[in-house]
Amino acid sequence: MAELAAAIDLEAASASRRHFWSRFAIYGLLTVFAAIYLIPLLVVVFNSFREQAEIARDGLISLPKTFRLEAWTQAWSTYCIAGTCQGMQRNFLNSLWMTIPATIISTLLGAVNGYVLSKWRFRGSEVLFTLMLLGVFMPGQIALMPWAFVLGKLGLTNSTYGLILVHVVQGISFTTLFCRNYYVGIPDDLIKAARIDGAGFWRIFWKIMMPLSPPILIVTVIWQFTGIWNEYLFGVVFTSGQAQPITAALVALTASGTTARSYDVMSAAVLIGALPPLLIYLFGGKYFVRGLTQGAIK
Amino acid sequence: MSIHDLSVPIAVPARSWRDRLGSIVPILVLAPSLAASFVYVFVFTGWTLYLSLSDSTLLPSYGFAGLDNYVSLWSNRRWNIAYTNLFLFSGFYIVGSMAVGLLLAILIDQRVRGEAVWRTIFLYPLAVSFIVTGTVWSWLYNPADGIQALVRGLGWSDFSFALTSDRNHAIYAVIITGVWQSSGFAMALFLAGLRSVDPDLVKAAQIDGASVVRTYRKVILPTIAPIFLAVAVIQIQFAIKTFDLVAALTRGGPGISTTFPAIYVYDLMFQRGEIGEGAAAAVMMLAALAVVLVPYSLWVVWRRRAEAGNG
C-alpha cells in the first residue's frame, strides 16, 4: 500500500515537473520572439530621444542615457529633404489629406455597392461582382503607365487629388467585397418587409442597412486607412518633392544621407510616418485583425 | 437565389414612372464603380499589354513591335536576376513566415496568460509600412552601426552580419525582414484556424492517450490544411508585388543583387525611359500572379461546390 502511494507520488511529481518545464519552454520561446519583434521598435523609439553624439559613441542599439525632444521638432519642421528644409510636416499632412478622403469615399462606395450586390441583385450582378473582385489582385505595376496618362490628362499629376483618385478606384474592389460579404448575412426578409411598407432604395439603405453596418464599416475604414497611408509605389511615381506622401518622403530622407547619418532625426521621422497606423492598430486591434482575416480568406 | 424578385416591385399592379425609376436606381448607383473598376481592370491591363507589344521607349508610342520587348526582357541579365530573386525570396519567405507563424500560433494556443499582449506584439509590424520596416532594418543590418557592431562591442570581435553590403547575401536580408514583418499575419490566420477546430475531436484524441505533439500532427493540423494553402497563396501574392520593402531596405543593391520584378518595372518605366520593356515586365508579373491565383480560385470554387453537395 505504502509502496503504491509512493509510486503515485513519484508519478505525480514527474508529471508536474514535466508540466513545469513545458510551461517554461512555452513562455521562454514567446519571450524570445517578443524580443525579436519589439527590439527594432524600441531601437527607433530610444534613438529618437537620444543625442546623436551618444548614438555615434554607444552605437545604434543601446539603452538611452540622454533624453531630449529636439530630434522630433527637427524631423517635424526643420530637417532638410532634397534641398527643402521644412521637415516632414508637409508630407505628413499630404498623407493625411490623401488618406482621410480616399478612405471615406471608397468606404461609402463599397457600402452602397455591397448593398446593391447583396440586396438588389439583378440579372448578371454575380458576374459583375466577380469582375470587380479582379481589382483586388491587380498588381499596381500594371496600371502605372495608364494612370500616369489619365492623371496627366486630368491635370492631377503631382497632386494629392490625383492620389485620392487612384486610391479610391483601387479601393473599390476591397470595400465592395467586404461590405457585400457582410450584407449577405443580413436577412432579406427585413428588406422585403420594408419594401411592402413602401420604403424605397435609399430609405432602406439609411434606415435599415446603415444602423446595422458599424462592425463592417470600422473594419473597412481601418483596412483602407492603413493600406492607403502605408502605400508607396503610387506616391513615389505620381508625386515629387513637397507633394509626396510621407512614405515617399521617408525614403528620400534616409537616402539623402551623404554626410554622417543623423539617426536621431531619422528615427523621429520614421516614427512620425509610422504613428497613425500604429495608433489605429493599438486602439482598434480587434477590428484590424478581423479586417486582415476577412481580407485574406476570400 | 430568389432575391432576384426583389427588383420587381411587390404588389403594385400598374408600374408608374416612379416605380420604373426605382427599379433602375440600384443599377445607376452601381454604374460609376462598375465603370471605374472596368477601366481599372480591363482597359488598364489591355493598355499595358499593348504597350508591352509596342515600340515605346521614353514616351508611350503605339507602333507595333511584336514580342521585341519580351525578347529583350528575357535576354537581360538584370531581369534574370530579378526573376531568380523572386523565386528564392518567395520560397524562403513563405516557408519562413508560415513556420514562424504556426509556431507562434501553437504556442499561444497553449492557454497562455496575457494572450492578447503576445498577439499584439507579434502582429504590430503588419500595421507599419514596408517603408518603415525596411528603413529601420537597413540600419540594423548596417555593419558599422547595427547588429554586427553591437555583437562586436560585446566582445565577439570577428562576428559578421553584414548581409546588406554583400551581394551574395543581401537577398537573405530581404527574406529575414519580410518574415519578420509578415509572420504575425500568418500567426493570426493559423490561430483563427486552430480555434475553429472541433474541441470534441481534440478531446477524443486526448482520451485515446495521444500526446500534444501527436494531437497536433494527426488531428488538428490536417483539419486546418486549407488555411495553409490560403496563407501560402496570399504570401506568394505579396512576394510577387514586393517593391516597397526592397526600395527602403537595399534599393535593389548592392549592385543589382536584390533587384525584383517590381523594382525592374519601376526602374525601366520611370528612370530609364524603356516603357515598352517595363510594360513587358509588368505583364510578366501579372502572369506570375495568374499562375498562382487562377488554379487556387478554381480549387476554392470546386471545394465550395463539393461541400455544398455533401452538406
Quick one: CA dihedral B178, B183, B185, B186, positive or negative? positive
pLDDT at B173: 92
Q: What percent of chain B has pLDDT over 90?
A: 45
Least confident of A8-22, A269-283, B70-84, B213-227: A8-22
Q: Which residues pair with A81 in a beta bridge?
A: A84
Taking 60 as the threshold, does the pLDDT of residue B34 lie above it? yes
Distance from CA of A40 to the nearest CA of B (A): 7
Q: If you average pLDDT over each of A275-279, B14-18, B208-212, which comes out highest?
A: A275-279
The answer to whether the Cβ–Cβ distance between B51 and A109 falls below 8 Å is no
User: Alpha-carbon distance B296 to B87, whole Å?
Assistant: 19
Backbone angles phi, psi at A50, to 5 degrees: -90, 160
B57 inside 8 A of chain A by CB: no
The answer to whether the Cβ–Cβ distance between A230 and B129 falls below 8 Å is yes
The answer to whether the Cβ–Cβ distance between B140 and A169 falls below 8 Å is no
Q: In this structure, what is the dihedral angle of CA atoms B163, B167, B171, B174, given to the nearest 10 degrees?
A: 50
Quick one: CA dihedral B259, B260, B264, B267, positive or negative? negative
Mean residue pLDDT of chain A comes to 88
Q: What percent of chain A has pLDDT over 90?
A: 54
Set of chain A residues whose Cβ sits within 8 Å of the Cβ of B153? 59
- CB-CB contact of B233 with B293 (8 Å): yes
H helices of A50-83, where? Answer: 52-58, 70-73
Taking 60 as the threshold, does the pLDDT of residue B182 lie above it? yes
Residue in A115, A123, A142 to test binding to B, most B beta-carbons within 10 Å: A142
User: Alpha-carbon distance B53 to B128, whole Å?
Assistant: 38
The answer to whether the Cβ–Cβ distance between A280 and B127 falls below 8 Å is yes
Size of interface A-B (CB pairs under 8 A): 262
The answer to whether the Cβ–Cβ distance between B140 and A43 falls below 8 Å is yes
Residue B303: other Cβ atoms inside 10 A: 12
Structure confidence at residue B16 as a pLDDT band (50, 70, 90): low
Q: Which residue has the cell 529618437?
A: A48
DSSP string over B157-223? TT----GGG-TTTHHHHHHHHHHHHHHHHHHHHHHHHHHHS-HHHHHHHHHTT--HHHHIIIIIHHH
- Say yes or no: ipTM exceeds 0.90: no
Give pLDDT tens digits for A108-162.
999 999 999 998 888 888 888 888 888 888 888 999 999 999 999 999 989 999 9
User: What Rg value do the Cα atoms of chain B yield, rounded?
Assistant: 26
Give pLDDT tens digits for A162-187.
999 999 999 999 999 999 999 999 99
Distance from CA of B229 to the nearest CA of A (A): 10
B180 inside 8 A of chain A by CB: yes
**CA nearest neighbour of A112 among B32, B23, B19:** B32
Q: What is the largest CA-CA distance in chain B?
A: 91
Is pTM beyond 0.95? Reply is no
Set of chain A residues whose Cβ sits within 8 Å of the Cβ of B44? 138, 142-143, 146-147
pLDDT at A298: 46
Set of chain B residues whose Cβ sits within 8 Å of the Cβ of A186? none
Structure confidence at residue B4 as a pLDDT band (50, 70, 90): very low
Mean pLDDT throughout B2-10?
Answer: 48
User: Alpha-carbon distance A269 to A44, whole Å?
Assistant: 10
User: Alpha-carbon distance B177 to B186, whole Å?
Assistant: 15
For residues A250-259, b (16+ Cβ closer than 10 Å) or e, as one string? bbbbbeeeee
The answer to whether the Cβ–Cβ distance between B124 and A281 falls below 8 Å is yes
Go through chain B and tell me how many residues it has: 311
pLDDT at A7: 66
Mean pLDDT throughout B139-148?
Answer: 86
- CB-CB contact of A114 with A182 (8 Å): yes
Q: Which residue has the cell 515598352?
A: B276
pLDDT at A257: 56
User: Alpha-carbon distance A66 to A54, whole Å?
Assistant: 8
**Which among B34, B122, B300 has CB closest to A128?**
B34
Taking 80 as the threshold, does the pLDDT of residue B10 lie above it? no
User: Alpha-carbon distance B183 to B188, whole Å?
Assistant: 9
User: Alpha-carbon distance A249 to A236, whole Å?
Assistant: 8
Give pLDDT tens digits for A94-108.
999 999 999 999 999
Distance from CA of B184 to the nearest CA of A (A): 9
Set of chain B residues whose Cβ sits within 8 Å of the Cβ of A281? 123-124, 127
